[in-house]
Amino acid sequence: MSSPDSETPGSSDKRIGLQEPPASGEQAAPPAVEVRGISKDFGSNRALDQVDLHIGHGEVLGLLGQNGSGKSTLVKVLAGVYDPEPGGRLFVGGEEVALPLVPGQASQIGLSFVYQNLALAPGLSVLENLTLGQRIGGGLSSWKAINWMAERRRAAVVLDRYDVKLDLDRRTGELAPVDQARLAIVRAAEDLRRYRTRSGYKHSVLVLDEPTVFLPEEEVDRLFDLIRTVVAEGAAVLFISHDLAAVRAITDRVVVLRDGRVVGEEVTADIREEELVSLIVGAPTRAGQSAPDGGAPVEDQQAVALTLAAMQSAGGADAVAAGENVAVEHLTDEWLRDLSFEIGAGEILGVAGLIGSGAEELPYLLFGARPAGSGALRLGAETMDVGGLSPQRCVRERIALVPADRAVQGLSQSLTLWENIVMLVEDEHYRGGIFHRGELVDLAREAIDRFLIRPPRARNAMSTFSGGNQQKALLAKWLLARPRLLLLHEPTQGVDVGARRDIYRFVKSAAALHHMAVLWVTTEFGELAEVCDRVIVITQGRHTATLDGEELTEEAISAAALRQTREDR
Amino acid sequence: MSAPAPVDEARPEERHAERPAPAAILRVGLQRYAILIVFAIMVAVFGVDLPGTFLSVGNLSNILGSQAVLFILVMAVLLPTVVGDFVDLSLGSSLGLSSMTLAVLNVQHGTPVLLACLAGIGAAMVVGLVNVFFVVFFDSDPFIVTLGTMTVVQGVIYIVSGSNSVGIVSTGLSNWIFTNEFLSIPLEFYYGLAIFLVVWYVLSFTPTGQRALVIGQSREVARLSGIRVNRQRAFAYIIGAAIAGVAGIAYAGTNGTVDPTAGSSLILPAYAAVFLGATAIKPGRINPLGALIAVYFLAAGTAGLELLGAQTYFQQIFYGVALVASITIPKVTRDRFLKRKRSA
């Protein structure tokens, strides 16, 4: 796989050097950015191993890989955050730049970065954020008066150029996530444009690190429109993502990293999705749909056994409870309009809806985490008023919520892994005035084994674990509490392919074995099609479609979610 | 097929990985016990320099006894800090209010001393309740609210005392707090120790303490895990204020007369001890044992410096330096460690 395609421009570079034009057929030009032989060690751990990479002018290059594959490390080398090992070389617009870069140097050689957290100040206005970059220079300019009127006019022109409509006076934190992302990209692109005008160079590269993670599918398209505009303006884009669909939609070429090495370099249009998955994961997947399918019976049996053991170890005889049916009746709040549905014992019910449809509110309302209007939640024989729910009550009733924002709402980053996992079952290990910590640590260790959390270090701080492993820990935490109803919101967001499959299996087996009712809310419709027994579609707060059996495909879900939105408008 | 296989493959490595490298143990241990080590070195140095005085029973009793009020106040400060409300500035004023209430009732109105003590503690708890009202129910910034209540309470103290020192409180109280000794140490030290033991037990050995920790570290996680966040915060404020009230009683018993500014000079050293303590035993976490060590580390240091002839104001310099050093040194070592370890 690692031998480059004959059509890709990358193949010729090593032999012939920079004078060779990229295969675009146009005038000879060196790549906008090229790195050769970049390595980076962390102690004995080699995070990057002789990475070669180049990005042509006006090209969108996708950089793919699982968590820990070295993507972020490479970005941080380019940003001047990490010093690479000696021997690596960096060429920008055909000219060699000495490594390591110092922080801040990247912007002076035509590189600009947009990270997942966007680096916007939520309390400042759109205008202030947009012009933030111009405030950084030191010296006398720090003391010059800012002409806000002129800044405003210029900012309006800039937004206009990229066809982004935003109120310059809005607090940035109040913008929709996609608009925040677009603002960050416009700001970075504008820095690049200014760089090109000032320096006279043609090259410039916009590095987008996981820009689509927090965006619903529909919004991603608006982001892509912006990226295309940026490319048309003359910048190249390095697009780093987990999201295969996004990568396939926007990139011209992809480079796959695994364990710090480049394991594949392909023209996006020429590679099939399963080939890409097997490049990323490293194991050859079976033909066809099998990669994300997870339906292999042997695999499932084992996963089921693992989860069962984990849950039995957690508690007494009631661990394996008879399942209970769940029904939600006439749920109404700010977004939702008279929503009713049922989840059978052991059923995984998917909820699909675009952002703003109200679907994303559902798990929080049913957990009492946000004040709800009215409605009833029936759990077995009990009926509860949704308006009167609180997280305390729901934990008592054994309702579990895995929130989307795992870093802030799900797990305490500064506590250790074991403390997070056993958080809900501590009381069971406090007897006669003695807190049996040892039992809790053992319990956590067992869960770490069962839920394949790596590295299996119970006493490490939560913040040191990768997204996928944090998500598994979060799932373990709630499954140990033996929920009757499991509410999941974007459970695989920012999670690598391997961990994602593990999570699918854990939830499936929990539902199958414990007859647990599961509500799975996500904007990743492909995931719903794969995992759920049945999917309900919510558009504009209303339950507008139910899909199951043969109709349960990603396309059908997307269509249902989109179509009805448009009809209503 | 790929997923179950790694379980077995990873097993030996897992077991191995569970045991940190010796270097890591040393590093963590150093950080955890750094204060104790410095403490020991300091005691040794003072002991050698001042053989007859520093290690004498009298000095030991002085160190333990003289800081008892601060020690009790530290336990008060600890509670709101653990649940993540990093400052309750008003606790110093609560101490002052408690001792002034006691003194005014006992001296000027002839109220029986036990009743006056209870009234003092009650007055302090009222301040705690007011804080809870604004900080917890209205979700206002604790720094600003307690800055306000601190100032108001200080004003109230001036009003009830007529801006004068009030004394002398019942000698019975002084006897039971300061004059009577057990093993040559004033009884108030043991009161502090008792409070410490209770706080330590609750915070370190009960699920309640563990929940308080979760609240302090990640309030949103605590809320979504069904923990009664606001109730625990309210308890922390009110019990903290009550303990500050006890510290006020100890203050009155120790000094005999109560000055209107009592407590205001103690609150910052108390925070110094709490934060210094958070670098020891369980680094990064506010913990009672660390605070205990920190209080007496600071007390021993200043006592030694005084015996060496340093002026009292060196105490402040010593506190300040120790605090800044304690928070900086672990950071320097940790950041270096992280920089090496951080990967993709």
Task: Write the CA distances from A161 to A158, A193, B145, integer angstroms.
Answer: 5, 11, 47
Q: What burial class does residue A94 get, using C-beta atoms within 10 Å of its C-beta: 0-12 exposed, 13-18 middle, 19+ buried?
A: middle
**What percentage of residues in chain B have a pLDDT greater than 70?**
87
Per-residue confidence (pLDDT) for residue B123, from 0 to 100? 94
Highest mean pLDDT among A15-19, A288-292, A312-316, A450-454: A450-454
| A contact residues 442-461, partner B, Cβ 8 Å cutoff | 449, 452, 454-458
Per-residue confidence (pLDDT) for residue B101, from 0 to 100? 92
Find chain A residues with C-beta within 8 A of B214's C-beta: 412, 415, 419, 423
CB pairs < 8 Å spanning A and B: 116
Work out the pLDDT band at B272, boundaries 50, 70, 90.
Answer: confident
Per-residue confidence (pLDDT) for residue B21, from 0 to 100? 59
As a dihedral over the C-alpha atoms of residue B284, residue B287, residue B291, residue B297, rounded to 10 degrees, the angle is -60
Find chain B residues with C-beta within 8 A of A403's C-beta: 224
Q: For the sheet containing A534-539, what is the strand order?
A: A399-402, A485-489, A517-521, A348-352, A534-539, A542-548
Q: B60 or A377: whose pLDDT is higher?
A: A377
Best probe of the A interface among B18, B221, B334, by most A CBs < 10 A, is B221
Q: B314 or A281: whose pLDDT is higher?
A: B314
The tens digit of pLDDT for each residue in A512-550 reads 877 889 999 998 888 898 899 999 998 878 888 899 888
Q: Give the pLDDT mean for B44-60.
A: 79
Work out the pLDDT band at B334, boundaries 50, 70, 90.
Answer: low
How far apart are the CA of B207 and the nearest CA of chain A, in angstroms? 6
Per-residue confidence (pLDDT) for residue B178, from 0 to 100? 77
Per-residue confidence (pLDDT) for residue A364, from 0 to 100? 92
Q: Is the pLDDT of residue A345 over 90?
A: no
Paired with A54 in beta bridges are A34
The answer to whether A372 and A386 are in contact (CB under 8 A) is yes
Of the candidates A43, A283, A413, the beta carbon closest to that of B218 is on: A413
Per-residue confidence (pLDDT) for residue A482, from 0 to 100? 83
Type and span of the H or E element at A91? strand A89-92
Work out the pLDDT band at A120, boundaries 50, 70, 90.
Answer: confident
Q: Give the pLDDT mean for A220-226.
A: 85
Residue indicated by tokens 């097929």:
B1
Lowest mean pLDDT among A187-191, A345-349, A554-558, B23-27: B23-27
Candidates B203, B171, B183; CA nearest to B277 is: B203
Closest residue, chain B, to A366 (C-alpha): B224
Q: Give the pLDDT mean for A326-349.
A: 88
| A contact residues 298-327, partner B, Cβ 8 Å cutoff | 298-299, 302-303, 306
Per-residue confidence (pLDDT) for residue B11, from 0 to 100? 37
Mean pLDDT of chain A: 80
| DSSP 8-state code for residue A374 | E
Its pTM stands at 0.70
Residue indicated by tokens 């569970």:
B18
Closest residue, chain A, to B284 (C-alpha): A414
**What percentage of residues in chain A have a pLDDT greater than 70?**
83
Per-residue confidence (pLDDT) for residue B237, from 0 to 100? 93
Q: Is the pLDDT of residue A292 over 90?
A: no
Per-residue confidence (pLDDT) for residue A1, from 0 to 100? 41
Residue type, A52: D
This complex has an ipTM of 0.77
Find chain A residues with C-beta within 8 A of B227's C-beta: 391-392
Work out the pLDDT band at A488, boundaries 50, 70, 90.
Answer: very high
Lowest mean pLDDT among A79-93, A128-142, A552-566, B273-287: A552-566
Q: Give the pLDDT mean for B230-252.
A: 93
Q: Is the pLDDT of residue A25 over 50?
A: no
Residue type, A377: L
Per-residue confidence (pLDDT) for residue A356, from 0 to 100? 67
Find chain B residues with C-beta within 8 A of A423's C-beta: 210, 214, 221, 225
Find chain B residues with C-beta within 8 A of A72's C-beta: 344
**Contact (CB<8Å) B4/A303:** yes
- Cβ-based neighbour number of residue B183 at 10 Å: 10
Per-residue confidence (pLDDT) for residue A316, from 0 to 100? 43
The tens digit of pLDDT for each residue in A78-98 reads 888 888 888 889 988 888 888
Per-residue confidence (pLDDT) for residue B55, from 0 to 100? 74
Q: B234 or B36: whose pLDDT is higher?
A: B234
Q: Give the pLDDT mean for A163-186.
A: 87
Strands A542-548 and A534-539: antiparallel
How far apart are the C-alpha atoms of A96 and A26, rounded to whole Å? 23
How far apart are the C-alpha atoms of A444 and A473, rounded to whole Å? 9
Q: B172 or B250: whose pLDDT is higher?
A: B250
Mean pLDDT of chain B: 81
Per-residue confidence (pLDDT) for residue A217, from 0 to 100? 63
Work out the pLDDT band at B17, boundaries 50, 70, 90.
Answer: very low
